Every structure is written in structure tokens, then in C-alpha cells.
Amino acid sequence: METTLHRQLKTHYAGTEAQIEVPLGRYRIDIVDGERLIEVQHSGLSSIRDKVRFLLKKHEVEVIKPLVARKRLISLSAKDGDELKRRWSPKRCTRLDVFHELIYFTRVFPHRRLTLRIPLIEIEEARYPHQRRNKRRGQFKVQDQSLLQVVGEDVYRTRGDLRQLLPADLPKTFGSLELSESMKIDRGFAQRIAYCLRKTGTVKEVGKKGNALQYRFAASARVGKAKGKLANRPQKRKTKPAA
């Protein structure tokens, strides 16, 4: 079932002349804006990887993958029940979390016809207790999610856009250890970032230091004229939560 959040994001990004939910061959496209196909993907990018790869053969494609910067949790007594309490979740995403998604999308990105748009959003999530609680399912089931506002946005089209997420003071040759120390993140996350950079062609392997792979930026990953700022789309008005 489609969530309120998904519907709101489609409305937010569909222009006044765009069409929503348009069949195209064996696929259904979230938004068709002229010659451009737009897919809004709140869940993982891996589930639309093959679809996007197929569409890119003939079409300009934009994938909108929101990251939840803040989430307000609304606890219900039961499905469609009374509200018990509301609070902000301690879990937050940052723009670096794009690498957690990109790791499953490196066979598609970058592509000359592909734009990857990453809005940072605040949402509300209504949830109620599971009748049968277990560790796999967790204690709650989500009833719906809705958009509060879009608080920021990054746009990725090239390897250079990915490079702009990295510190400018990285040494010419670096590995996951240098990434971890420079970005103040744990080594496991740094290794995931290095994997994404390597698979997208943003860096190339140049050897090893002990058992750690060493990299240098590829010539095709030059930073553009934005000088460290990703291309941003002008913000639309903030979206109010659904009634």
C-alpha cells in the first residue's frame, strides 16, 4: 500500500504539467515530466536498480531518494487507534548516508542520462504495537508516514559530485583509514564509502599499505565550478503534514 509520504513526495516533485503514475511498457512511472521520467523511491535503491537501468536505455531518468533527517514518532493504541504519545526519534540521517544506498546502485550510477536527487526530509510516523511481538518484526508496526518538510537537498550526476562529499584535505593517496580519520566516521563506514567510490570509478586502486587498499581520485572525478557545493534545486514550499 502506498504511504501518504510517497504521495506527498510525488506531488512535491511533479511540476504543474507533469503526469503521475503513468504506465510505460511493463513498468509504471511515478512522474513523467515531458521527456524526463522521475522515480520516487523511499525504500532501498536496490529494488529499482534493474528498472532504472532498463529505462536509461532510451530515457532521461531522475531518481528521488529521500533521507530522513528527523522522524517524529506517533504511538497509537492499536491500528487506527487513539494517539498515546509522540516524540522525536534519536535516529537521524545526514547527507553522507547516501553511500549506504549507493552501494547497491553502483552498476547504474553514474550514467549520462541519470540524475540522483537526495532530499533531506522530516517526517511523521504513526505506529502501533504488533499483536505478536518478536525480535525479527520488532515491537511496532508502521501504519503510515507523512512529510513534514524538506530541509535540504543534494543532486548527483557525476563522479565529481561524489568527490565533493569528501574532505578537501585528504592525502593524494589514501585508504579507508585516512577516510575514517578525516571524516570522523568508523572504519566500517569508511570502507563502504571507499567501495562506492571504487565501483563508480571515482577513485582507482594504486596499491596497498599493509593489507589496506590505497586509492587516488580518477581524472573523471574532477570537482566542478561549484567548489565543494553540490548542485541544489531551489526549494519548493514546505509541505504540511496530512490531516
Domain coordinates of the chain in residue numbers?
1-163+223-243, 165-222
What is the reported pLDDT for 119? Answer: 97
b/e burial code for range 52-80 (CB count within 10 A of at least 16 → b): beebbeebbbbbbbbbbbbbbbbbbeeee
At the top level of CATH, the class of 165-222 is alpha beta
Res. 230: pLDDT tops 60:
no
Please write the tens of the pLDDT for every residue from 19-56.
999 999 999 999 999 889 999 999 999 999 999 999 99
Give the global pTM: 0.86
Minimal CA–CA distance to 108: which of 76, 69, 71, 62?
A: 62
How high is the pLDDT of residue 126? 96
| pLDDT of res. 139 | 87
Residue 215 grid coordinates: 586509492
pLDDT score of 134: 58
Contact 27, 51 (CB under 8 A): yes
The predicted pLDDT at position 234 comes to 39
The C-alpha cell that represents 199 in the structure block: 565501483
**Percent of the chain scored above 90 by pLDDT?**
80
* Environment class of 125 (CB within 10 Å of its CB; exposed 0-12, middle 13-18, buried 19+): buried
User: What is the predicted pLDDT for the residue at 237?
Assistant: 41
Give percent helix, percent strand, percent coil of the chain, each to the nearest 5. 25, 40, 35
Longest CA–CA separation in the chain, Å: 60
The predicted structure's pLDDT at residue 130:
82
Per-residue pLDDT at 136:
57
In the predicted structure, residue 17 carries a pLDDT above the cut 90: no
In this model, does residue 220 exceed pLDDT 60? yes
Least confident among 45-54, 123-132, 229-238:
229-238
Give burial (CB, 10 Å; 0-12/13-18/19+) of 216. Answer: middle
> According to the model, what pLDDT value does residue 133 have?
59
Coil, strand or helix at 238 = coil
Per the model's pLDDT, the better-predicted residue between 237 and 30 turns out to be 30
pLDDT at 228 (0 to 100): 37
Q: Is residue 215 within 8 Å of residue 194, measured between CB atoms?
A: yes
User: What gap in Å lies between CA 131 and CA 129, rounded to an integer?
Assistant: 6
Residue indicated by cell numbers 532498463: 54
pLDDT of 14 > 80? The answer is yes
Q: What is the mean pLDDT of residues 143-148?
A: 96
User: What is the reported pLDDT for 32?
Assistant: 96
